[in-house]
Chain A
Amino acid sequence: MDLLTRARRPARRSYGGLASHLRDPARVVFLALFGLVAAGWALVAFDGGQFLTLESVVGIQQRSAALGIVAIGQTLAILAGSLDLSVAYLISLTSLVAAEIMAGQDRNAGPAIAAVLAISALVGLVNGLVITRLQVHAFIATLGVGLIIKGVVDHLYDGPAGKVPESFQLLGYSRVGPIPVSAMLWAGVAVVAWFLLSRTRLGYRIYAVGGNEEVARLSGIRTSRVIVITHVLCSFCAGIAGLLLAARLGAGAPTVGTDGGYELESIAAVVLGGTALAGGRGGVAGTVGGVLLLAVLDTLFNQLEVNSFAKDVVRGAVIVIAVAVYARRGTRRVA
């Protein structure tokens, strides 16, 4: 992760010292995460409990895995200067597709995964093409595609459907030591995205397009293609999250994506991690930190038995404050 931030900001190495380290939002969010864990530990200990039990650590990881995977896809879209509001509906759709095709049979898992990825790719392709070819603002394009998916899903299903075989449910529940398989999947997706962004040409192009599309085009980047690819990758991530949620529920559900509020939550997690909503600045590391921060906050509230509505209030405030802090830090750089 160090490599990533350094690769992005060669100019800033010259500052040196703690202050320059703190100017990087990804570091700030991990520092905040560390602070929150310490504060949480103290608070819960004061309350007479134990904060970081094996149970709560596993809980934090499991709670954040699905959102984390979606948020990584969302990071790619946002870095390219776009955003994706259709992910929540796509998650519902893919969870249903997976569970229906598996129909409780182990041997159907392969085809189901293939079908989910194919559908995700198709949705991402449509998103990207509507944005680039039809020149529809990403907000409207992905909202529209999301509504289309919602209509189809609501038309075909009233409630949970399909059945996920026991072996596939292991993806949702089993763990190796303190690390759930779902968290490993999340880490895998994060590493792939990190590699893509920091070590491949496509990654550099994503940053270039998000930074300034016109300049990127004039420097010979096929900007439309980059935007389409990021949307396909973003939808892939949503599809994987749909598979994960199907494994956890044991069936597909038409409202699993929207109930989780994944579209806005994932965008919130991405900006909490210091990625600029306008694109071009940020990275995967910050997003992972942002998702973990939200999950630790959740766990802390649960352990302190705070009213769930208070959670929303604090969450909203945290997001706005965090972005305000980043905006303040950014002022010195922006000419």
Chain B
Amino acid sequence: MKRALPILAVLVVLLAAIAIANPFFLEPAGFLAFLKRAAPLVILAAGQYFVVVSGEFDLSVGSLVTAEVVIAARLIDGDESATWPVLALLIVAGLLVGLVNGVLTTKLRVPSFIVTLGMLLVLSGAVFLWTGGAPRGALSEGFRTFGRGGLGTLPWSVPILLVAGAAAIWLMRADFGRTLKATGDNERAAALSGVRVDRVKIFAFMLSGLSAAVAAILLGGFAGVSAQVGQGLEFSAITAVVLGGVVLGGGRGSVLAAMAGAVTLEALFTLLNLYGVSGALESTVQGVIIIAAVAAGAIRLPRKPTPRRGDAHAAS
């Protein structure tokens, strides 16, 4: 929790700044609209957190989101009755991609950076090979409700987000969470004390795949079908996780802070929009803030745990 404090402070400042520029933000409808926009990234960040805290990367989530949305559009093709089977299929597909990522990483001992980079290429290639270059078909209204509609003023995204967040926090408090963190901190020590390291990591990748599937369902409804829907989401998710104080290389940080990092990132985009920073310069500000936030975190941290600067540079 201590590690989550700085990011929560930054988040409060950003939210206050947004509220000053746009008082509508303080009303329930305004805030809920913000949460609805943030939900996919927050869920992705939670999934990415499991992978990062176990000491790995998942670069495939962006193209997985695109692939899932394109697959859904082609399979549903406007047919309302196909909604539920396709939703189930998307969840299974997400878990399956995570399973493949995890198995390749742990059993073949290929660095996850490479496995998920390969998966990124395979997924984006395969899905457009199948649809012939551009997304085809359309999503049904029932499918789009999840990302777009809601109960009165409460968008469906918000309860979905809360359930996902609660599940993630519960998972990290269960045995799984402790073994996952132990694996990320020192894989060999964890293995020697009886953790089934491979199984834990594979499960982490499957959770990341699952989160990508849920994010794809929300984004498909919210943003519609396009070939760019998931573009760059892998970097955004990793950025969000790192903003939350989670250490690349594994073993440190909380899932709550990772999700707070995602909300902060989204708040930052909203704020930049409000203050009329040109769309292009947005990425410059984003770059500066990521570096500054991570640097501040690294410097504030006392060096008392094991000196692990060596790990800080290992990409796998």
Contacts and interface: CB of A to CB of B under 8 A. Distances in A.
Interface of A: 78, 80-83, 130-131, 134-141, 143-148, 150-155, 212-214, 227, 264, 267-268, 271, 277-279, 307, 309-317, 319-320, 323-324, 327-328, 331
B125 A309 contact: yes
B115 A320 contact: yes
B188 to A, nearest CB: 12
A131 to B, nearest CB: 7
A144 B129 contact: no
A320 B249 contact: no
8 contacts: A148-B283, A152-B281, A152-B284, A155-B284, A213-B313, A312-B121, A319-B118, A320-B118
Given A134-B295, A309-B129, A310-B125, A277 B313 contact: no
B95 interface: no
A320 B121 CA distance: 11
Contact of B290 (A80, A140, A268, A317): A140
A147 B239 CA distance: 12
Given A147-B283, A277-B114, 20 more contacts: A130-B291, A130-B295, A136-B295, A136-B298, A137-B294, A144-B286, A144-B288, A152-B281, A213-B310, A227-B313, A264-B59, A264-B120, A277-B113, A312-B124, A312-B125, A313-B129, A315-B121, A323-B111, A323-B114, A327-B109
Interface residues of B, number: 54
The binding surface of chain A is classed by DSSP as: helix
Contacts of B110: 320, 323-324, 327
B163 interface: no
A148 B113 CA distance: 23
B309 A143 contact: no
A316 B118 contact: yes
B267 interface: no
Interface in B257-316: 278-288, 290-291, 294-295, 298-299, 307, 309-310, 312-316
A279 to B, nearest CB: 7
Contacts of B248: 137, 139-140
Given A316-B121, A327-B109, A135 B291 contact: no
A212 B284 contact: no
B122 interface: yes
Nearest to B296: A134
Contacts of A151: 280-287
B286 A313 contact: no
B242 interface: yes
Contacts of A311: 125
A140 B239 contact: yes
Interface of B: 57, 59, 104, 108-111, 113-115, 117-122, 124-126, 128-129, 133, 235, 238-239, 242, 247-249, 278-288, 290-291, 294-295, 298-299, 307, 309-310, 312-316
Contact of B122 (A155, A313, A327): A313
Given A147-B287, A307-B129, A279 B314 contact: yes
A320 B114 contact: yes
Chain B contact residues, majority secondary structure? helix
Contact of B104 (A134, A148, A307, A320): A320
Contacts of B294: 134, 136-137, 140-141, 144
A214 B310 CA distance: 6
Nearest to A211: B310
B310 A212 contact: yes
A329 to B, nearest CB: 11
A147 B290 CA distance: 10
B134 to A, nearest CB: 11
Contact of A317 (B118, B238, B282, B287): B118
Contacts of A134: 291, 294-295, 298-299
Contacts of A83: 315
A320 to B, nearest CB: 4
A148 B284 contact: yes
Contacts of A145: 287, 291
Given A143-B235, A316-B122, A319-B117, A150 B284 contact: yes
A238 to B, nearest CB: 17
B53 to A, nearest CB: 14
A318 to B, nearest CB: 8
A146 B290 CA distance: 11
Contacts of B299: 134-135
Contacts of A310: 125, 129
* B239, B248, B294: residue with the most chain A Cβ atoms closer than 10 Å: B294
B295 A135 contact: yes
B129 A81 contact: no
Nearest to A157: B280
B208 to A, nearest CB: 17
B60 to A, nearest CB: 10
B126 A309 contact: yes
